[in-house]
Amino acid sequence: MDIFLLFISAIFVNNIVLAQYLGNCPYLGCSKEKSVSIGMGAAVIFVTIMATLFTFLIQKHVLLPFNLGYLQTIVFILVIAALVQFVEMFLKKMVPPLYKALGIFLPLITTNCAVLGVAILVQRKEYDFVTSLLYAVAAGTGFMLALVVLAGIRERFEITRIPRAMRGVPIGLIMAGIMSLAFMAFKGMIA
């Protein structure tokens, strides 16, 4: 039951983009086309899980025993950067079809604050190992949901007459605001 609540809360109530303001650059940058947004979302889920797994183990077995907690930021970001590079190389050699689908998105994800954000959040919330991984899955899914929905809406914008000054990012942001307003309604679900 707790796991179910965690999922609902991370996907809908505390959606990582719409309520916690993480990962806004790819949210606006990759939401112009539905197929692109699906690829980006899948890549974010994948990398978030991997990054949370590795950073969690490093935090528990390297940083804390040696009293190096203050190095968290620098270690986490370097681990994520290296991890993304390795995953890219591995997929290229071993799983070409997956590389073809996710390949172009992987380098973008190093600087996606949702990935580093989730890795740091699970440490600050002091989740245990399994909960952390589940939270990573849920947060990634929440990101993908918000991204794909926005992409679907923005595809319609192309055939709509929008004032010149509002085109592109401004209308995207206002749309995100309306979506965020809608997502606030989910708060009642876990009251």
Partner 1 sequence: MASMMKEFTKGLWNELPPFRLVLGLCPVLAVTTTANNGLGMGAAVIFVLSLSNVIISLVRNIIPKKVRIVCFIAIAASLVVTVEMLMQAFAYPLYQQLGIFVPLIVVNCIILGRAEAFAAKNPPHLALADGLGMGIGFTLSLTFLGSLREIFGSGTWFGVSLFGPDFQPFTFMVQAPGAFVCLGLILAGMNFLNVWQAKRKGVELDPNFDAGCAGCAACKGLEKIVNQKKLERLEAAKG
Please give the full DSSP string across 16-75, using - where no structure is assigned. TTTTT--SHHHHHHT-SSHHHHHHHHHHHHHHHHHHHHHHHHHIIIIITTTT-GGGHHHH
Stretch that binds partner 1, among 49-57, 93-101, 103-111, 129-137 (CB under 8 A): 103-111
User: Should residue 165 be labelled a site residue for partner 1 when binding is judged by CB under 8 A?
Assistant: yes
- Tell which positions 45-84 bind partner 1, by CB under 8 A: 70-74, 76-78, 81-82
**Residues 61 and 36: beta-carbon distance below 8 Å:** no
Q: What are the E-state strand segments in the chain? A: none
Residue in this structure with the two tokens 């309306």, named with its chain if needed: 178
88 binds partner 1 (CB under 8 A): no
Q: Which of residues 121-160 bind partner 1 (CB under 8 A)?
A: 121, 124, 158
Contact between 25 and partner 1 by CB under 8 A: the answer reads yes
Residues listed for the chain: 191
Q: CA Rg, the chain, in Å?
A: 17
Q: Is residue 177 involved in binding partner 1 (CB under 8 A)?
A: yes
Which residue ranges make up the site for partner 1 (CB under 8 A)? 18-26, 28-30, 32-33, 35-36, 70-74, 76-78, 81-82, 104, 107-108, 110-113, 116-117, 120-121, 124, 158, 163-174, 176-178, 180-181, 184
